[in-house]
Structure 1
């Protein structure tokens, strides 16, 4: 049996994934971001609960525009991970497996996470 020739170089920018593939990849990326951010969130909560000075320190830190942008990015990560996770659970019980429904649920995930992020941005930057 002749071995199958494997590609030596795979250009990920030339691969045309369907929308459901991008939603799935973003689900994984958002999960990693949330996992990495979790210890910092626990630390910030601990500092803010340590007393009035700690609370003021965290409140002052969150007035910085870059900190608000990072927080907004984490809101997107949470919203996308949440809605994409619901989509994956629906797929696990065989809801929306046909191509049309899978495309519609992918659009719904992107729209819902985008809307949640826009609402958070409106609240953070208004």
Structure 2
């Protein structure tokens, strides 16, 4: 009896369907938000500690590095919310078929990219 084993196990050649990419991104943005929360809480703590702390945080957030962190955090939050809404709709019994699930995943990813570009343009 010959076992059917995968021929190619190179991770960079495996293509995931859009629904899988959407699910992986939802989990990844959740982890990213957890770590971003550390920086956000730290910035809040420093900014309310004194006037100098507020000016320091304000200066950091207006620098190019601060803007990248801000856009990244807002981008992760945007995708996580959109992905969460998609999952809630799926929990209600919609978009469970293969085609509609992949189409909703593609729509969420495109909407996320558009909103991230808009936020980046506004904040930069």
Q: Under TM normalisation by the shorter chain, which class is it? A: 0.7 to 0.9
Q: Does 1:28 align with 2:27?
A: yes
How many aligned residue pairs are there? Answer: 122
Matching residue of 2:82: 83
Matching residue of 1:94: 93
Post-superposition Cα deviations, 1:99-120, rounded to whole Å, max 9, x if no partner, equal 2211221122112212221221
**How far is the alpha carbon of 1:5 from its aligned partner?**
7.9
Give TM-score, length-normalised by structure 2: 0.86
Matching residue of 2:47: 48
Structure 1, unaligned stretches of length 5 or more?
Answer: none
Structure 2, unaligned stretches of length 5 or more?
Answer: none
Which of the two has greater helix per residue? Answer: 2
CA-based RMSD of the aligned residues comes to 1.9
Matching residue of 2:63: 64
Provide the rounded CA distance (Å) in 2 between the counterparts of 1:43 and 1:110: 30
Q: Does 1:119 align with 2:121?
A: no
